[in-house]
Structure formats: structure tokens, C-alpha cells
């Protein structure tokens, strides 16, 4: 009888967990504004997963191509590259996507991205059980050089070296 009660409670708890709002919490999402004719920009935020998760894909209606990138030193030059195996989000550990580090790369932009716009992003997540789910994020656009520190300025240069 006691055993039955415990397993019922566990079942209720598991059910509540499945209906939890999101596997990943998103904080301070933003997209860098572009100038006319600029074909690429970045999206940045802090992601914290509730359980071990991997970001395996991203899409946005404003970009023909969206990828998760990292910055890395290659022969003394800072370059960006796609994280082909995805971006791991260890449980409970905030992961920063920021200028000069991990970022969402938005390429083949369909138009100028202006301060005040809101950019929808859809992440594809893979949970600890291998199950995939999506996460919708709305990221406001911030102007170039909008009060951010020096490392941010390095990113557009790095992007221009980008080969796709």
C-alpha cells in the first residue's frame, strides 16, 4: 500500500515535470542591428538548461541561414566556426552567447535589421533523453555600438572573414 502511494506520487511529479514551461531559460536576448546591405549579424543571450540539453539547430524568418557559432583562435587569428555537433547546455549552468564567444549567426539576411525591431528565433533542443523540442525566443534589436564594450566591435570584422 505504501509502495503504491509512493509510485503514484512519483507519477504525479513526473507528469508535472513534463508540463514544465521550458527545458531552457533564456535571459537578455538581443540581436545586433545592421547597416544597409549588411548580410549577416549575430544574436546573443544567456541560456540555462534545467537538464542536460544540446542546442542542435536554430532558425529565424529574417535569415536565409542561421547557425550556432563559436569564436576560436586559429594560427593567431580569431575566427568563427559552426558548432556542427551543437552547443551543450549542462544542467543549471548558464551559457553565455555574447560578442567574441558563442553566438547565433544570422546570414543571408532578408533586409536591414533595425534597432527597435524584434527578431523571432526558434531553437531546436535535444534533451537528456534524446528527444527534440523547440524553443521560441523573441530578441529585440540593439543598435551597433549601443553602449557595449570593446569586444563587441571586433565581431563585424570577424564576420567579414567568414566563408560560406
Residues that bind Cu ion (CB under 5 A): 69, 80, 105
- Closest C-alpha among 22, 159, 32 to residue 98: 32
Q: Which is nearer to Cu ion, 50 or 79 (CB)?
A: 79
CB of 91 to Cu ion, least distance (A): 26
> Rounded to whole angstroms, what are the CA distances from 63 to 10, 17, 90?
44, 34, 28
CB of 87 to Cu ion, least distance (A): 13
Residue 94: phi, psi to the nearest 5? -65, 135
CB of 42 to Cu ion, least distance (A): 6
Strand partners, 49: 24, 91
Q: Which is nearer to Cu ion, 26 or 80 (CB)?
A: 80
Q: Which is nearer to Cu ion, 49 or 105 (CB)?
A: 105
Q: Which is nearer to Cu ion, 54 or 69 (CB)?
A: 69
**In Å, how far from its chain's centre is CA 91?**
16
CB of 104 to Cu ion, least distance (A): 8
Amino acid at each position: 500500500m505504501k509502495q503504491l502511494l509512493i509510485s503514484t506520487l512519483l507519477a504525479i511529479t513526473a507528469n508535472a515535470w513534463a508540463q514544465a514551461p521550458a527545458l531552457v531559460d533564456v535571459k537578455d536576448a538581443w540581436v545586433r542591428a545592421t547597416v544597409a546591405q549588411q548580410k549577416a549579424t549575430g544574436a546573443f543571450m544567456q541560456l540555462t538548461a534545467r537538464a542536460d540539453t544540446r542546442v542542435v539547430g536554430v532558425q529565424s524568418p529574417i535569415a536565409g541561414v542561421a547557425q550556432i557559432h563559436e569564436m576560436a583562435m586559429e594560427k593567431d587569428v580569431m575566427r568563427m566556426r559552426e558548432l556542427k555537433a551543437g552547443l551543450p547546455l549542462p544542467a543549471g549552468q548558464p551559457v553565455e552567447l555574447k560578442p567574441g564567444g558563442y553566438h547565433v549567426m544570422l546570414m543571408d539576411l532578408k533586409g536591414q535589421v533595425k534597432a527597435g525591431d524584434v527578431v523571432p528565433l526558434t531553437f531546436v533542443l535535444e534533451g537528456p533523453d534524446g528527444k527534440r523540442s523547440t524553443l521560441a525566443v523573441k530578441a529585440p534589436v540593439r543598435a551597433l555600438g549601443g553602449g557595449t564594450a570593446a569586444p563587441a566591435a571586433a565581431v563585424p570584422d570577424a564576420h567579414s572573414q567568414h566563408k560560406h
